[in-house]
Chains A and B, each alone.
Chain A
Amino acid sequence: MTDILLEMRGITKTFPGVKALENVNLKVKEGEVHALMGENGAGKSTLMKVLSGVYPFGSYEGDILFKGKACEFKDIGSSERLGIVIIHQELALIPQLSVAENIFLGNERARRGIIDWNETVLKTRELLGTVGLSESPNTLAGTMGVGKQQLVEIAKALSKEVKLLILDEPTAALNEEDSENLLNLILAFKKQGLTSIIISHKLNEIMKVADSITILRDGQTIETLRVREDRITEDRIIKGMVGRDLTHRYPEREPNIGDILFEVKDWNVYHPQQSERKVIDDVSFQVNRGEIVGIAGLMGAGRTELAMSIFGQSYGKKISGRLFKDGKEIRLPDISTAIDAGIAYVTEDRKEYGLILMDDIKRNTTLANLWGISKWFVVDDYREMTEAEGFRKKLNIKTPSVHQKTGNLSGGNQQKVVLSKWIFTGPDLLILDEPTRGIDVGAKYEIYTIINQLAEQGKGILMISSELPELLGMCDRIYVMNEGRFTGEVPRAGASQETLMKYMTRSRR
């Protein structure tokens, strides 16, 4: 039982401009459950994509040894033939196909191209049995709940005679019961000798199932811990995950905090499609003038959903709760009302939700405040140019002119255009959702400077970020979110990455 099943040695993977993985090592023993942990962007998913052949041999450096033999996977199919199967975070089932069709998709039970449906159905029933599902093989995948779909995914993996099962955040979208179920299943498979790698943010789950934990940080292997032998605690894992020094520099700022600007009380939001699922659960908070308030949380904690549901109800259904601005209750039933009320929301996904990439800088800058450059419905092109030019200079957008298409700009410059757009609406409260995602260090510093200037002008800033150092470096106060609820509020003085991480992983149970 102590043989090494998989060894990845010295894996380095670079994307244009970014080193995603640097000299990463991973050893997985036969028959164990091996957890891969790290912050968002630490390189966990990238490493698994290298392993499964999504990034083919030659696009990375280093060696992969499976059962002692060197492997050169050129696509997913070649890793699956050896029994390495990955189940991605986003479910890959086709909702319009039946369970049986999904399980054998691309791997059909067929002779000379003719599918043997009897064998397919029989085999499916058997596989479903092993994962504890009693559904008919002809059930449409789309009609099942997320938890059961996840089990079907596992059944699909089993159909490929899996030797090494990789689960990328398998419980992220599941409720407690389904998660419990899934974890027990992983343990049951372990007893039968199946090796698995599990990526998860949920510490309690990892403690329950994992034998070993490898921690990645900034694309490097930090350490591999043996859970039982070394008597590992949750705190020990957190330390490994966040243990870096604050090497990033943040611009200095003297906070000058004024009256309460914006207040949210008893905010509840339900999922737009699954009307039973509560996405935001009884959240209350406030932002003062001149204050930078952070919201920490892992992916899927509901931070973006919270922000968008406040911003003109642009997310969610059955929204309830009360909003106050400058002490007066306000209602924001749609986005233009929210903009008029002085609220701005800078999206986390600037390409999909922030910019019109085919349009130039000036048009994007003025889009949310066209009335501000118009007289009687008529847009003043020259005023538009002057305003956009002003923002180009003030925010140091590196481009020859404001006629440049935003699709051709770098991430940092695109983000500055989105910020220009929202600053031009003259907001009092700016909600910034991952304002520095995918931006290089230099541009980050500039964005931080802009944020500080906005706070100095007496605006309130609500900043959502997955990078804890960023929150600690920028914010006066940090709320922590998990599973749609606020699990803690930490003032700057008492904040450390460890305390934040503890609240972030604090579950309901």
Chain B
Amino acid sequence: METALKLIRSNIRQYGMFIALILIMLLFQFLSDGILLKPLNITNLILQNSYILILAIGMLLVIITGHIDLSVGSVAAFVGAVSAIMMVKHGMSFPVAMVLSLAFGAIVGAWQGFWVAYVRVPSFIVTLAGMLLFRGLTMLVLDGKSVAPFPQGFRSISTGFLPDIPGGRDIHLLTVSIGIVLSMLYVFMEWRGRLVQNRYKLELLPIPFFLIKLAAVAAITNLFTYVLASYKGLPNILVMLFILIALYTFVMRKTVMGRHIYALGGNEKAARLSGVKTKKTTFWVFVNMGVLAALAGLVFAARLNAATPKAGVNFELDAIAAVFIGGASATGGVGTVIGAMVGGLVMGVMNNGMSLVGLGIDYQQGIKGLVLLLAVAFDLYNKNKSAS
């Protein structure tokens, strides 16, 4: 029992927001008479929040380096608009148009990265300017009107589902199998990691807790895929998100590049004197943000089946809130991809839950603001406590 308490205490910061997310879900599940966790609603939740989560990944990197990007909403709208012109007006095939759009995002990111990294204009200013500039360009490109409709193939990014293998009746068999395979893969990786840790004589989680952890993760994964399978299965966008999360978690935790980004945010001067190319790294973080903003713009346009001049308004604020709720530090150097995703889901579930309950937009805004403030205050409180 004592070890359990110690474990909980040492992990409360790491898992605090995750626990909060589960509590919020249970709360709204109760308040909405069980609608929140219905397969249809879960699927909707994912589709509704996918583009914010994509932005939050890029924003996390930007915030870890100690910067901010206010322009992502406008950039998403701009790239959505450009893609609409290419596909709808000029009939370009959608894979080509998507690649070009992402390249466009990279150029936009390079433009902002240049000013931030090499001219050293504060990122707040550069991206505030970008927010206005790219909103203006969006209106210019679209001539103030919405452009629609997109080809079916493009739309399926946001609205399509993985095809099923034949044989299932009420249930999407492929989705269920993916859940089983993933949880087996997870158990295998954890077990192998434990063996390596043992070889290096590191402190190990006691066996009972280790088994509980494995069982819990496997159960949640399979429950989740089962719920999705009883509707239409895995949305395409969820597969893409999963790949992005896995990729960026790997990059940030395991690669030299990720280390350099954290070091740069932790102490720029020390990082520079240790041979980290601080300007170049900052530049590429912004290029990356541009590409992800472009991707979010495409996903949003595909979901809406239109490019509109008003697309992406306030996306940047949701993405920034997600990153901070997820435990990133405003001074840089701290934050995780998973944390940002949990933060994004907290906001997403609250949006969805409050709508289901029938709360007005006025209350929704206010409550979300308070949640952001309290989440960051809670995080700081925990940090101070562990420091002293």
- CB proximity of B105 to chain A, nearest CB, Å: 23
| Segment from B85-93, B209-217, B254-262, B337-345 that makes contact with A | B254-262
Q: Which of B202, B257, B262 contacts A377 (CB 8 A)?
A: B257
Which residues of chain B from 246 to 268 have any CB-CB distance to chain A below 8 Å in the complex? 254-260, 262-263, 266-267
A-B interface pairs (CB < 8 A), number:
75
Neighbour of A356 across the interface among B257, B258, B266, B277, CB < 8 A: B266
Binding site for A on B (CB under 8 A): 196, 200, 202, 254-260, 262-263, 266-267, 269-277, 333-334
* A314: Cβ under 8 A from any B Cβ: yes
State how many angstroms separate the Cβ of A337 from the closest Cβ of chain B.
Answer: 9
Q: Are B200 and A385 in contact (CB under 8 A)?
A: yes
Q: Which residues of B contact A311 (CB under 8 A)?
A: 273
Smallest Cβ-Cβ distance to B276: which chain A residue: A367
A312, A356, A378: the one contacting B267 at CB < 8 Å is A356
Do B266 and A335 touch (CB < 8 A)? no
Asked whether B200 lies within 8 Å of A335 as measured between CB atoms, the reply is no
A507 contacts B by Cβ under 8 Å: no
Task: Tell me how far the C-beta of A422 lies from the nearest C-beta in chain B, rounded to whole angstroms.
Answer: 9
Residue of A nearest to B329 (CB): A358
Could you tell me the distance between the alpha carbons of A336 and B256 in the complex, rounded to whole angstroms?
A: 14
Q: Is the CB of A359 within 8 A of B266?
A: yes
Q: How many whole Å from B265's CB to the nearest CB in chain A?
A: 9
A368 near B274 with CB under 8 A, answer: yes
CB distance from A160 to the nearest CB of B (A): 37
Known: A336-B275, A382-B196. A370 touches B270 (CB 8 A): no
In the complex the two chains form, what is the Cα distance from A358 to B239 in whole Å?
A: 35
From A311, A338, A379, A421, name the one whose CB has the most chain B CB atoms within 10 angstroms: A379
Could you say which residues of chain A place their CB within 8 Å of the CB of B256? 370-371, 374, 377-379
Kindly provide the distance from the CB of B274 to the nearest chain A CB, expressed in whole angstroms: 4
List residues of chain A with CB under 8 Å of any chain B CB. Answer: 311-312, 314, 334-336, 338-339, 345, 347, 352-359, 363, 367-368, 370-371, 374, 377-379, 381-382, 385-386, 421
CA distance A339 to B272 in the complex (A): 12
Asked whether A367 and B254 contact (CB < 8 A) given A356-B263, A382-B196, the answer is: no
A339-B275, A379-B256 given as contacts; is B263 within 8 A of A367 (CB)? yes
The distance in angstroms between the C-alpha atoms of A358 and B334, with both chains bound, is 9
Residue of A nearest to B383 (CB): A358
Say yes or no: B277 contacts A336, CB within 8 Å: yes
Nearest B residue to A336 by beta-carbon distance? B275
Contact B274 A421 (CB under 8 A): yes
Contact A370 B200 (CB under 8 A): no
Extra contacts besides A336-B277, A370-B259 (11): CB < 8 Å: A335-B274, A353-B269, A354-B273, A355-B267, A357-B267, A358-B334, A359-B266, A371-B256, A374-B256, A379-B256, A421-B274
List of 5 A-B pairs having minimum Cβ-Cβ separation, nearest first: A356-B266, A368-B274, A336-B275, A356-B267, A367-B274
Determine the distance from Cα of A378 to Cα of B276 in the docked complex, in whole angstroms: 16
Q: Given the complex of chains A and B, what is the CA–CA distance between A368 and B275 in angstroms? A: 6
Q: Please name 28 pairs of A and B residues whose Cβ atoms are closer than 8 Å in the assembled complex, sorted by A.
A: A312-B275, A334-B277, A335-B274, A347-B273, A352-B269, A352-B270, A354-B270, A356-B266, A356-B267, A356-B270, A356-B333, A358-B266, A358-B334, A359-B263, A359-B266, A367-B270, A370-B256, A370-B259, A371-B256, A377-B257, A378-B254, A378-B256, A379-B254, A379-B255, A379-B259, A382-B200, A385-B202, A386-B200
A80 to chain B, nearest CB (A): 35
Given A335-B275, A355-B270, A378 and B200 contact (CB-CB distance below 8 Å): no
Residue among A339, A345, A353, A355 having the largest count of chain B Cβ atoms under 10 Å: A353
Tell me, in angstroms, the Cα distance from A345 to B258 when the chains sit together: 24
Closest-CB distance, A442 to chain B (whole angstroms): 26
Determine the distance from Cα of A353 to Cα of B333 in the docked complex, in whole angstroms: 15
Q: In the complex, which residue of chain A has the Cβ closest to the Cβ of B258?
A: A379
Known contacts: A314-B273, A356-B270, A356-B333. The answer to whether A363 contacts B254 by CB under 8 A is: no
A345 contacts B273, CB within 8 Å? yes
Query: Which of A314, A345, A367, A378 neighbours the largest number of chain B CB atoms within 10 Å of its CB?
Result: A367
Whether B272 and A314, one on each chain, are in contact in the complex, defined by CB atoms closer than 8 angstroms, is yes
Query: Roughly how many angstroms separate A382 CA and B202 CA in the complex, as a whole number?
Result: 10
**Of listed B255, B269, B275, B276, residue having the most chain A CB within 10 A:** B275
Residues in chain B near residue A338, CB distance under 8 A: 275
Chain A residues whose C-beta falls within 8 Å of the C-beta of B257 in the assembled complex: 377
A347: B residues at CB distance < 8 A: 273
Residue of A nearest to B277 (CB): A336
B269: chain A residues at CB < 8 Å are 352-353
- By a CB distance below 8 angstroms, the chain A residues around B196 are 382
Specify which of B256, B274, B275 lies most central, judged by the most chain A CB atoms within 10 Å of its CB. Answer: B274
Output the nearest chain A residue to B256 by Cβ-Cβ distance.
A370
Q: What distance in Å separates the Cβ of A338 from its nearest Cβ neighbour in chain B?
A: 8
Complex contacts, A356 vs chain B, CB 8 Å: 263, 266-267, 270-271, 333
Please measure, in the bound complex, the distance between the C-alpha atom of A354 and the C-alpha atom of B271, giving whole angstroms. Answer: 8
Instruction: List B contacts of A336 (CB < 8 A).
Output: 275, 277
Would B277 and A353 count as touching, CB distance under 8 A?
no
- Bound complex: CA A335 to CA B277 (Å): 8
Q: Which residue of chain A has its CB nearest to the CB of B260? A: A370
Contact A358 B273 (CB under 8 A): no
Which residues of B are found within 8 Å of A359, using beta-carbon distances? 262-263, 266, 333
Q: Is the CB of B255 within 8 A of A367?
A: no
| Chain B residue, CB-CB nearest to A345 | B273
Tell me, in angstroms, the Cα distance from A175 to B276 when the chains sit together.
36
B273 near A335 (CB under 8 angstroms)?
A: yes
